[in-house]
């Protein structure tokens, strides 16, 4: 039996959001460890984008249908 489209779409969206969160967090860490201080506006933009992406991930909620294991 195959996985339903809604479940597949949910997993793809979830993975996309998680990848984006990881990328943005790595960018913030890189900004902090870099010898030069980034502009506050640039850092604020990255933090805002991170907050928006985390909100999307939270709003995605749990999987619409439990996977059979």
Q: pLDDT for 13-53, tens place per residue?
A: 999 999 999 999 999 888 888 756 667 888 889 999 999 99
Mean pLDDT of 51-64: 93
Give the Cα-Cα-Cα angle 46, 52, 55 (nearest 5 degrees).
140
Give the start-to-end residue ranges of the domains of the chain. 5-60
The size of the chain, in residues, is 69
pLDDT over 60 at 69, yes or no: no
Q: What is the pLDDT of residue 14?
A: 95
Q: Would the pLDDT of 2 be above 80? A: no
Residue 1: what pLDDT?
47
CA dihedral defined by 5, 15, 44, 40, rounded to 10 degrees?
-150
Does the pTM surpass 0.85? The reply is: no
Question: How many angstroms separate the CA atoms of 31 and 42, rounded?
Answer: 10
């Amino acid at each position: 039996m195959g996985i339903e489209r809604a479940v597949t779409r949910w997993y793809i969206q979830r993975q996309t959001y998680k990848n984006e969160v990881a990328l943005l967090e790595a960018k913030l860490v890189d900004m902090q460890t870099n010898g030069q201080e980034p502009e506050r506006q640039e850092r604020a933009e990255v933090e805002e984008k991170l907050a928006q992406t985390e909100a999307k991930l939270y709003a995605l909620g749990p999987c619409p249908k439990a996977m059979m294991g």
